[in-house]
Amino acid sequence: MLKKVAEGVLIHQSELLQNNTTVVQGRSGVLLVDPGITGDEMACLANDLRQLGQPVIAGFSTHPDWDHVLWHAELGEAPRYGTARCAAYMQDLRSKADWKAGVAEGLPPETAEETPLDLFGLITGLPAETTHIPWDGPEVRIIEHPAHAQGHAALLIEERRVLVAGDMLSDLFIPMFDDTAEPIEDYLVGLRLIEDVADDVDVVIPGHGSVGRADQVRARIKQDRAYVHALRDGHVPGDPRIGPSVKPGWEWVNDIHEGQFQRLAPKGARDGTPGVSG
């Protein structure tokens, strides 16, 4: 079911991981950002768009995580864009003979058999200097940054004052880090670049979870930054997305945090008892 979040901007949310597919209405059809995650959900999305008389004329993947590069035949054959780094990552993955088996192994068991992979990752990389998505609709600014994943980009739908944040600024997921030389600093850079446009945003759509409005935009940036700082400094973050206050059904996010703490916190904190950050 499509839900309106701003003028000309709707979302379609998946059931399992609460992925948000963003639909931006243009003059001759829609831009579809991060569709997913099961075949039935994408077919439902396609049907909803048909009922609106809105064909898909462009797609965009915010980053190359499996649940952001999916597609379904019923969505049509519109060009599917991403940053050059996102597209290069997917091209490298798909060049491997056993790529489909490898991707399938990483899917959640609850949806593995229901997630179509035939059109997985077929992304056209935009030139590095591209600042806006080429399509027949409202200007959508590309904010590429090094946080979370290679070639990650947030999108600012400028005249709608909507930020599509990819896998950042979620009320369910803590910041998750790419395997880079400086993952914590990379994440802080990403947050700074997003914060630079915060005054132009009234609505933020995270990759997973609930839509944030008005003052929640800066509040979510602050919350993500506090988590990153706590991890960097070797403290246990006082964060409602982890610990005993975590939303029921999302307790496994605690496991993600524990793994990140062991990988990225200072050695002394990993070996001892970390302090608590409020």
Radius of gyration of the chain (CA): 18
pLDDT for the residue 163: 98
| Strand ranges, E, within 153-200 | 153-157, 162-166
Encoding tokens for residue 113?
A: 């058999």
Per-residue pLDDT 10s for the chain (278 aa) are: 899 999 999 999 999 999 999 999 999 999 999 999 999 999 999 999 999 999 999 999 999 999 999 999 999 999 999 999 999 999 999 999 999 999 999 999 999 999 999 999 999 999 998 999 999 999 999 999 999 999 999 999 999 999 999 999 999 999 999 999 999 999 999 999 999 999 999 999 999 999 999 889 999 999 999 999 999 999 988 899 999 989 898 999 999 999 999 999 998 776 654 444 43
151 near 83, Cβ under 8 Å? Answer: yes
Burial 263-275 (b: 16+ CB within 10 A, else e): ebbeeebeeeebe
Read off the amino acid at residue 189.
V
Q: Which residue has the tokens 């059904």?
A: 249
Report all structural domains of the chain as residue ranges with CATH numbers, in order of start: 2-277 (3.60.15.10)
pLDDT for the residue 273: 43
Gap between the Cα atoms of 123 and 272, Å rounded: 45
Burial 138-168 (b: 16+ CB within 10 A, else e): bebbbbbbbbbbbbbbbbbbeebbbbbbbbb
Q: Which residues contact 143 (CB under 8 A, 6 or more apart)?
A: 153, 154, 155, 156, 193, 194, 197
